[in-house]
Structure 1
Amino acid sequence: MAPDLAHVQKQTFQVLEHLLNDDSEVGFRSGDIETDGPDDEFDAASIAEKLRKVADALNEDANFQAKLRELKVAVAQEALEKTLHSGVDTLVQSHVGQKAEVAPELQLIKATMALGLYLKQTCPGLRQQLQTTIGTFLNQRVGPWIQEQGGWERVAAASQQNTSL
């Protein structure tokens, strides 16, 4: 008879505990695990060790390593985009950004630049990704407005006249 779902979920966490922690952090090894389900042969440490061997073999595969590098870049890019979008929106919506005399698009540009410079200083390794992310963000959010103003030269001149964010 198959174990119920709650029991399988509990076992999954036990296996992961052994797989992801050092043995000394787990505090118990094979044979020390109480099983209260129908499968008395369940051994989280043994299962974790088998899964570790499979993962180690995959980690030696060049194609797998290439995909992992792609995944890391994608995750970093997505995190950077989310951080930039939410950070800029928060800055623009803050009390400081509620200056009626400053166009909302200009507030957005100023907040984006401020956050971009901060991220550049704190995450220098992401400079190229940051440049791409900010460029895409600005083009999507205020590109048409910049065009309507006559281009970046006029936007820059307007931003100098009104330096408050």
Structure 2
Amino acid sequence: MLDLREQTAIIIDHLLDPDFWSCLLEADCDSPDPISEEEKILKVAQCLRAFGDQYNDMIQEQMKEFKPRLTELKNNQASEGFSRMVTELSNSRVLCTHAEQLGPEMNVLRTTVILGMYISKEVPELLPRIKDAMVNYINTNLLTWIRQSGGWENLL
């Protein structure tokens, strides 16, 4: 059985893989529990993708402000730059209005997903760095909450 850190890496890998999504039918987050661990991980990635897509239009103006700063993610401090952007976006007025419904940790997870998806579309050459930055951010800032929630499969 994979530990949560390993599951996180696989989930983010699937989440940001355009080839994976181009051949997958629309996510069904409410389907019965999958059988295998791999199916559970894929279900989490599908639900996170749907989650990110749901809020994508809402934060387009904020994302335009980040666009000039995306070049700073090309250097060796991609994780730090990504972390700063997640914090800024999580605290934005647009997302704070929805944060009360989700709770602080889910809001940060949502923001991480939205930002990662946006950057991977806008600057595809940053994909490996963004995947690493997202996994690092989630494992550093949200892993305890994910564990206390019963793991990824019980979170969504």
Q: Which gives a bigger RCO, structure 1 or 2 (Cα 8 Å, sep 6+)?
A: 2
TM-score normalized by structure 2? Answer: 0.48
